[in-house]
């Protein structure tokens, strides 16, 4: 799909103090409804996290509303395109965290891992002394990842700290690089590692989505497809709807076109 397609899918987040986040909910909900935009927006005292979809003018209207707040004036968004809105409804929700690590003392606004842009990511992860960690859940990893990336085997993001504590030692592992879909999970997880005494911690700026947007398939080290949390389920190297879906019962990746899950034989496929 290209930008000529009618529907824009916009993904964005920002860690920042939002003590008045509850007051932002209703005005944002009204703007999204008026703009005929659907998707999910999470608001918390620690910031905002969202994926929304609609026609270009509607998405731009929502982003303009957010950027009118001086605290969000430079809010950056990643885009992909589809021929239909991949969400059934609009949700603007209040949360304790915009991504649930369940480690309340971690503050990515104070410090987080060094951002490495897509153009320099390959050079970093090909170095032998870099420990590469996929910060996503196990069903996401099974769809695709970078070579040699460690799979934490988690079902939920809040399980990641246990894996990191069990497998990493700041005295032994000097250089750590992490990646996730859009960057938000890595930003929080790298902040945790810095709190634990790790000195040289990196994260893929903009996540896998920004990497696929900027790196040509011939130069890409990415293998497979990228899971996304909407009705498209997966994206290929060109950020088009992929060839993999997922079993909604056991989370096993399934080829598009298959009628049953090869693992649990369920027909409940996304």
Q: The tokens 């990842």 sit on which residue? A: 145
d(CA 75, CA 81) in angstroms, rounded, equals 19
Per-residue CA distances from 190 to 58, 66, 134, 250, 255 (Å)? 34, 26, 12, 29, 33
- Which residues share a beta bridge with 7? 55, 82
Cβ pair 150, 132 in contact under 8 A: yes
Catalytic residue among 180, 226, 247, 261: 180
Is 186 an active-site residue?
Answer: no
Query: Catalytic amino acids?
Result: 180
């Amino acid at each position: 799909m290209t930008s000529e397609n009618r529907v824009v899918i916009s993904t964005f987040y920002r860690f920042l103090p939002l003590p008045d986040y509850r007051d932002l909910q209703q005005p944002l909900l009204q703007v999204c409804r008026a703009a005929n935009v659907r998707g999910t927006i999470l608001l918390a005292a620690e910031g905002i996290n969202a994926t929304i979809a609609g026609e270009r003018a509607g998405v731009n209207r929502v982003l303009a509303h957010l950027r009118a707040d001086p605290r969000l004036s430079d809010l950056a968004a990643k885009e992909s395109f589809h021929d239909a809105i991949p969400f059934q409804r609009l949700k603007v929700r209040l949360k304790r965290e915009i991504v649930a690590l369940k480690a309340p003392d971690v503050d990515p606004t104070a410090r987080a891992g060094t951002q490495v842009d897509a153009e320099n990511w390959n050079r970093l992860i090909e170095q032998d002394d870099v420990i590469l960690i996929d910060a996503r859940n196990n069903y996401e990893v099974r769809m695709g990842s970078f070579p040699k990336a460690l799979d934490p085997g988690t079902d939920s993001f809040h399980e990641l700290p246990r894996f990191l504590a069990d497998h990493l030692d700041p005295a032994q592992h000097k250089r750590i690089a992490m990646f996730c879909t859009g960057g938000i999970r890595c930003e929080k997880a790298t902040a945790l590692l810095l709190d634990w005494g790790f000195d040289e911690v990196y994260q893929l700026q903009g996540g896998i989505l920004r990497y696929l947007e900027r790196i040509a398939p011939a130069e890409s080290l990415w293998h497979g497809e990228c899971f996304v949390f909407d009705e498209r389920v997966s994206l290929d190297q060109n950020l088009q709807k992929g060839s993999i879906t997922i079993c909604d019962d056991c989370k096993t990746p399934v080829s598009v076109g298959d009628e049953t899950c090869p693992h649990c034989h369920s027909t409940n496929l996304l």
